[in-house]
Structure 1
Amino acid sequence: MTLRRALVQTFCWVLVALAFGVVLWRWKGSDPALEYATAYITEWSLSVDNIFVFVLLFRFFQVGEREAPKILTAGIGLAIVFRILFIAGGLALVTHAHWVLYVFGAFLVYTGIKMFSGKHQAQVNPKVHRFLQRFFKNPLLLVIVLLAVTDIVFAMDSIPAVLAISTVPLVVYSSNIFAVLGLRSLFFLLKGAVDRFRYLQQGVAVVLVFIGGKMLADMIQVRLPDWVSLTVIALCLGGSIVLSLSKNNNA
């Protein structure tokens, strides 16, 4: 997987996701389409954290260039299945107990503040590694399982975030699945440059605090238009990327 091919594939996945947004606009109207666009950008930005850990896992297990694409494909496929189950549970919970959204909101604010104040220190837990080795003697199979488990951990943040934006099943499922499908090409695009985006974590943290605050504001009947949320999220992520690149150029 060359850098150019990874760039083309990443662009294609984003284009497909945007095309679905256009179809959704013509099919369901502007409100669901704006919710989808906001949710997709949020999920896509949160998936960058997955890349940090994926790179670490591949380095730790010394996965070769030839095996990497197959392992990623299998791991991401397994992650999509788990995400569908998580989303189904989340939607059922929110439908029967609306107050859970406020709990999610507080959790996102807490997570965002913690993420902003600390540095990204992804590590492979030796205890988890030894435990899984008992059941998976094949190292490559172990990496696939770890990729899926890693995505589940990050889904704890991303699924509440997207439920804060929309509870329409079509919007929630599609935004998550399109974001996860792009992880494979995004991995090859960013694996050599993860250290260059030093402020991206802070940008994602601000997004989480904003989404959590928006969710909590619903308690006092304060609701922001979807286009405002989309603009704020895009500015936070774009600003963190530009700041990271400018700092790298000045260093």
Structure 2
Amino acid sequence: MDVTFGVWALTVVGLCVLIAVDFLIGRKPHEVSTKEAGIWSAVWVALAVGFGLALLVFGGGGPAGEFFAGFITEKSLSVDNLFVFVLIMSRFAVPAPYQQRVLMVGVLMALVMRAGFIAAGAAAISAFSWVFYIFGAFLIWTAWKLVQDARSGGHDEEYEENKLLKAVERRFGVADRYHGTKLFVRENGRRVMTPMMVVMLAIGSTDVLFALDSIPAIYGLTEDPYIVFTANAFALMGLRQLYFLIGGLLKRLVHLTYGLSIILGFIGVKLVLHALHESGVHVPEIGIAVSLGFIVVVLAVTTVTSLLATRRQTARQQEPKA
């Protein structure tokens, strides 16, 4: 899809306005209720659907289908990321009223960093067609690794700080308690970070690892940087509300990792087939309609089987012991 500079600028400005409105609404620290999270989750999904329909009207069925496939894939991957966000919140004992501020700033940092990944991916694809082989192989390997992790017990029960975060903590120092929403305070004449700043950096930097599979995955569905960016933006911008909406349901999605591994493996195969086709090898390519349908079916099936499995497990635990 041919996107002019004016459309790019208008889109970025529009997203900035939405982010500003979101920030102003949630600027006062408070515990987010399920009702509030549900309403705003619906708003963000409605905005994404509206944007996809606008693409359908002005760009045609192809770009619209690519956007919806990319948005659903990124959204499903972001749900898996929430497992780690829960661990981070627990590790740093973030008070409930401050959790929404942490997620808001952390997600904004993630969006900026992903923009860099998207630009780098677009440049690599335009310069080297064989990069699809690398993306495809990486996604297939990631899918296999997800299956192995799921079979070994799923997500770790503790969050371990990455080397970058530890280096920043050593450089600036960290206060021993939260100071409201302040990011820096002075202790003993030295300016140090608060735990609030540390947890924001943890959320933002952790998303870099998530981007390593999500960006190649969406490039497997579309090569259009505009669609890649907007699908990522809409998926990330509703992540804060989704955290509070389904935070208590995450442990019930016991088959989600398997579903994501199937989706990533599917997109990996799609990328390899596309790379072979670009190299002149006559192989069938998987269309966007098939991709979108496959992703939706896999997510629906894994969600249903997850809920049935947890229901059976709960029923067994409630059975009286002989």
TM bracket, shorter-chain basis: over 0.9
Bigger Rg over Cα: 2
- Identify the residue that residue 226 of structure 1 maps to in structure 2: 288
1:152 alignment partner in structure 2 = 208
Other-structure match for 2:56 = 25
Of 112-121 and 53-62, deviating more is 112-121
For residues 21-78 of structure 1, the C-alpha deviation after alignment (integer angstroms, 9 at most, x for no partner) is 0000001110011011111111111111210111000011100111111111111111
Ranges of 4+ aligned residues in structure 1 off by more than 6 Å? none
TM-score, reference length from structure 2: 0.75
CA contact (8 A) 2:80 2:256 kept: no
Q: C-alpha displacement at 1:127, in angstroms?
A: 6.2
| Contact 2:83/2:155 (8 A) holds in 1 | no
Q: Helix, strand or coil for the counterpart of 1:210?
A: helix
Structure 1 alignment gaps of length 5 or more: none
Q: Which has the higher contact order (CA 8 A, sep 6+)?
A: 1
Q: In the alignment, what sits opposite 1:134?
A: 170
Deviation per residue, 1:97-116 (Å, 9 max, x gap): 01101110010011001102
Which residue pairs with 2:23 in the alignment? none
Q: State yes or no: 1:209 paired with 2:244.
A: no
Q: Which moved more, 1:238-247 or 1:132-141?
A: 132-141
Is residue 2:166 matched to residue 1:166? no
SS in 1 for 2:206: helix
Once the 2 structures are TM-superposed, how far is the Cα of residue 126 of structure 1 from its aligned partner? 4.9
Residue pairs, 1:72-221, within 5 angstroms: 72-119=103-150, 120-122=154-156, 123-126=158-161, 128=163, 130-136=166-172, 137=174, 138-218=194-274, 219=276, 220=281, 221=283
2:21 aligned residue: none
Gaps of 5+ in 2: 1-31, 175-193, 314-322
TM-score by length of 1: 0.96
Partners in 1 of 2:62 and 2:162 — Cα distance? Answer: 46
Paired with 1:127 and 1:30, the residues of 2 have a C-alpha distance of 42
- Check the 8 A contact 1:165/1:211 in 2, yes or no: yes
Counterpart position of 1:239: 301
Mapped contact 1:91–1:169 kept (Cα < 8 A): yes
Shift of 1:118: 2.0
Aligned residues: 251
The letter for the 2-side match of 1:68 is Q
Alignment match of 2:77 (pick from 41, 46, 49): 46
Displacement of 1:217 in angstroms is 1.4
